């Protein structure tokens, strides 16, 4: 038996943070996604314990302001790609400027300075990761996936997919289908 699971990354991380901060008896409040304000002075021992707990989940505390803003850019873009409404076709530049309260030029320059890639490339990578997930975990056609990811056409999706992964989405579908059939014959 196989099931497919969809999860809300934001809710997942927030739940972990809530549980672990409560376990450590630290008074806090969530400001935004990825932002916590401690409402009391926290001992170095509790902070160290909190850091160790977070690392178990692949979460780390960020202290450099530039890195913090770049992480907010990444989180916002991932949220934009993975939780986009099919009818909401807003440009990433407008989305980021409105969400983070900075000019797109500033955000793009900072992102490139810290990550050595552009926001546009990051968005493409996220869209292709989502396309791979949809191909692997759903029965959507490439047309439906292209529409969901707001590509102008299947050809546009296919071009970006091949440029990013080295194979076409159709080839990727065949590989996934072959793996499934091999797995089913072994069971």
Q: Using one digit for the tens of pLDDT, what is the confidence trace for 96-106?
A: 999 899 999 99
Question: What percentage of the chain has pLDDT greater than the value 70?
Answer: 92
> Which single residue is written with the structure tokens 């983070």?
100
pLDDT at 85: 64
Confidence at residue 68, expressed as pLDDT on a 0 to 100 scale: 84
pLDDT of residue 11: 78
The answer on pLDDT for 163 being more than 90 is yes
What Cα–Cα distance (Å) separates residue 69 from each residue in 35, 37, 47, 135, 170? 11, 16, 22, 32, 37
H/E element, 55: helix 44-56
**Whether pLDDT at 87 is above 60:** no
- Is pLDDT larger for residue 90 or for residue 91? 91
What confidence score (pLDDT) does residue 79 get?
Answer: 87
Domains, the chain, with CATH or none: 9-56 (no CATH), 65-182 (1.10.10.60)
Does the pTM of the predicted model rise above 0.85?
no
CA separation for the pair 140, 131 (Å, rounded): 10
| Per-residue model confidence as pLDDT tens digits over 38-54 | 888 888 888 888 888 88
pLDDT of 60? 79
CA distance linking residue 93 with residue 100, whole number of Å = 11
Over residues 130-147, the mean pLDDT reads 91
């Amino acid at each position: 038996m196989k099931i497919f699971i969809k999860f809300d990354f934001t809710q997942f991380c927030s739940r972990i943070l809530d549980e672990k901060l409560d376990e450590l008896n630290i008074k806090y409040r969530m400001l935004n996604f990825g932002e916590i304000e401690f409402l009391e002075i926290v001992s170095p021992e509790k902070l160290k314990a909190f850091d160790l707990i977070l690392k178990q989940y692949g979460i780390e505390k960020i202290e450099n302001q530039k890195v913090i803003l770049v992480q907010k850019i990444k989180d916002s873009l991932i949220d934009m790609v993975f939780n986009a409404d099919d009818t909401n076709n807003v440009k990433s530049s407008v989305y980021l400027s409105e969400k983070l309260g900075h000019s797109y030029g500033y955000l793009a320059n900072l992102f490139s300075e810290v990550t050595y890639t552009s926001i546009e490339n990051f968005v493409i990578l996220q869209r292709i990761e989502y396309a791979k997930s949809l191909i692997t975990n759903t029965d959507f056609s490439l047309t439906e996936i292209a529409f969901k990811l707001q590509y102008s056409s299947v050809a546009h999706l296919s071009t970006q997919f091949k440029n990013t992964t080295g194979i076409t989405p159709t080839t990727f579908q065949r590989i996934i289908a072959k793996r499934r059939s091999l797995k089913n014959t072994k069971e």
